[in-house]
Structure 1
Amino acid sequence: MQPQLRRREAFSVAGLTTRTCNKDERDPQSARIGKLWDQFFDECAYEAPHRVGDMRLYGVYSSYESGHDGAFDMTAGVAVAGEPATVHIEAGDYLVFSGQGRMPQMVLAVWDAVWQYFDEHPEIRRTYRSDFESYGGPDQVDVHIGVLFN
């Protein structure tokens, strides 16, 4: 899977947030992200005030403690105009990895491709400020990873 480089403008997302880390997410007993999405749909959090016309759902990764091994916040949400926003996506360059297929296996496979790509391309550095998943439908995702080029 070859990612595409895209420049993104800043935008805001409102939704529900949890704090987790990749180690915890590998263990079904401590994983929080799947439960967060369940809560998001159960509480109809997608009906956020000030929601913009963008019908995609977003999974936003922010407040990184350190690299891919540290804790981070994950927000399940929708794009909103103004406040109240839960998290802000920074403007900048993003490598976009796309996938289509059955959830959640497909999105996990896309994340595997992300980690493999950065292992194979150490010259490209992640910003670890705001990364996000953009769901265009129940079986389609674009994973946006903020990057800096040396």
Structure 2
Amino acid sequence: MEVRKVSERIIKGFSTRTDNETEMNPNTGKIPALWKMFDETVPVNYKDGERVFGVYFNYESDHHGQFDVLAGFDGASTPSGKEIEQITIQAGKYLVFTHRGEMPQIAIDAWTEVWQYFSSNKPEHKRLYSTDFEYYPSENQIEVHIAVK
């Protein structure tokens, strides 16, 4: 893991409101259906440099409260006939957790590392619960960015 300064960035896609308790149950989780809709609707042009993001925002409180999640991308084109939302990733300092391998296991592994780090006795960095995001530089790599003070 490493600390990075991130510039503001606009991401477009689809969102839902949920919480971690809901997502821990495969029968109630909303995020898998959100990603399925995104994957079936948005043509991401990786060859021209477009990339996929999962953005977490509008935190009610901490990891126990509700939050919004947006499955999105940074491309110019948007599918017609679908209402696309837009969120701004806030500029700032982020702690980045990187994993490589097969999806969805790398996402599970990255978030497991995030939870372990922030639930340790005295993490060096404190979460802001402002805007966090997943960045997918390729189909077999994930970078989870957590906003920190």
Whether TM exceeds 0.5 here: the answer is yes
Aligned to 1:87: 87
Unaligned runs of 5+ in 2: 77-83
Runs of at least 4 residues off by over 6 Å: none
Unaligned runs of 5+ in 1: 48-52
Superimposed CA distance per residue, residues 107-128 of structure 1 (whole angstroms, 9 cap, x where no aligned partner): 1111010011112234521111
Aligned to 1:37: 35
**Contact 1:45 1:77 (8 Å CA) reproduced:** no
**Contact 1:15 1:46 (8 Å CA) reproduced:** no
**Contact 1:58 1:132 (8 Å CA) reproduced:** yes
* CA distance in structure 2 between the partners assigned to 1:146 and 1:41 by the alignment: 26
Aligned to 1:67: 62
**Contact 2:14 2:34 (8 Å CA) reproduced:** yes
TM-score normalized by structure 1? Answer: 0.86
* CA distance in structure 1 between the partners assigned to 2:145 and 2:69 by the alignment: 14
TM-score normalized by structure 2? Answer: 0.86
Cα distance change, pair 86–73 in 1 and its aligned pair in 2 (3 A): same
* CA distance in structure 1 between the partners assigned to 2:75 and 2:10 by the alignment: 6
* CA distance in structure 1 between the partners assigned to 2:39 and 2:110 by the alignment: 22
Pairwise CA RMSD? 1.8
**Contact 1:58 1:133 (8 Å CA) reproduced:** yes
- Is residue 17 of structure 2 the alignment partner of residue 24 of structure 1? no
| SS state at 1:93 partner | strand
* CA distance in structure 2 between the partners assigned to 1:32 and 1:45 by the alignment: 21
* CA distance in structure 2 between the partners assigned to 1:18 and 1:58 by the alignment: 14
Deviation at 1:54, TM superposition (A): 4.1
Figure out how many residues of one structure are paired with residues of the other and give that number. Answer: 139
* CA distance in structure 2 between the partners assigned to 1:73 and 1:46 by the alignment: 22
Give % identity.
40
Aligned to 2:130: 129
* CA distance in structure 2 between the partners assigned to 1:38 and 1:44 by the alignment: 10
| SS state at 2:62 partner | coil
**Contact 2:62 2:129 (8 Å CA) reproduced:** yes
* CA distance in structure 1 between the partners assigned to 2:105 and 2:124 by the alignment: 29
Superimposed CA distance per residue, residues 89-111 of structure 1 (whole angstroms, 9 cap, x where no aligned partner): 11100000000111112211110
